[in-house]
Amino acid sequence: MRRLTPRQYGGATMEKTLRISVWVVLLVGLLSIGVYAQESKQVTIEVIDAPIDDTSVTGDLKEDIWVIAPKAGYVRITFERMEITATRVEYFGKEQRALITGQVRVVKEDSVITADKVEALFDEERYIISGNVHLVQRESAGEGTKVELRSGYLEYFDTENKMIAQEDVVFFNKDREGRADVVTYLDAEEVVFLTGNASLITEQGTWRGASFTIDLDNESIIGTGPGRLDFTL
């Protein structure tokens, strides 16, 4: 999308005004996080490409509740190493929480997640992602896909670099496809846990069992409980 410049508005832009005012409000609300984390966290919310006469932000100063929903353009949130874009954001300052909906896209380093909705719990650095969740993680070198995941629900714990997916979960890695009631992905350790009604399709065949632990780095698999392997000679 083309971003409007200050010159086009003949001075201070609506976008710039919204960015500064909302950022200040959120920063003040989030300074209290330092009590728990021993450091202040900063959240920036920007309204991008909204018309100058668009009522993009409404707020309740007493309750510290803000609705950012431009009729055109989009909303961008940056927090720590993460960027989230969407068409609507409801921010609850007292709870340090945001509900993010509408063409949601979450980007962090080599990973991109798209979904219908994200609930961001900033004080916990935890994100509850739901509705048509699709994760794509690229290799660190930027060549090829390392991990792909689809589900109805995903919890992302930023400080632990951990994801827990539920509801029709399908996990892809290279030529492997995994399915289970719950899939847990530890990114830093490069380990995936398939738990409950687990199945794993590989070049060797289809494994079924109670659970599987996949070490992506060492390309090893451990299964538990009763299970079976189906393959074709």
Domains, the chain: 1-105 (no CATH), 109-233 (2.60.450.10)
- Coil, helix or strand for 171? strand
Nearest to 75 by CA among 136, 120, 12, 33: 120
pLDDT at 83: 96
Contact 211, 225 (CB under 8 A): yes
197 vs 180: CA distance, rounded Å: 5
Give dist(CA 75, CA 86) in Å, integer.
Answer: 5
What residue type is 159 in one-letter code?
T
pTM (predicted TM-score) = 0.81
Pairwise CA distance, residues 169 & 122, whole Å: 26
Residue 231 · residue 205 · CB < 8 Å: yes
Question: What tokens appear for 156 in the block?
Answer: 């992302």
Cβ atoms of 158 and 126 within 8 Å: the answer is yes
Measured distance CA(24)–CA(221) in Å, rounded: 49
What is the pLDDT, as a whole number, of residue 213?
96
Q: Identity (one letter) of the amino acid at 151?
A: S
Would you give per-residue pLDDT tens digits along the chain (233 residues)? 334 433 333 444 444 444 434 443 444 344 333 333 446 778 899 999 988 888 899 999 999 999 999 999 999 999 888 999 999 999 999 999 999 999 999 999 899 999 999 999 999 999 999 999 999 999 876 678 899 999 999 999 999 999 999 999 999 998 899 999 999 999 999 999 999 999 999 888 999 999 999 999 998 999 998 888 887 77
Contacts of 80 (CB under 8 A, 6+ apart): 41, 125, 158
Which pair of tokens denotes residue 39?
């450091």
Q: Which residues contact 50 (CB under 8 A, 6 or more apart)?
A: 14, 15, 18, 56, 70, 71, 72, 73
Residue 49 is classified by DSSP as S
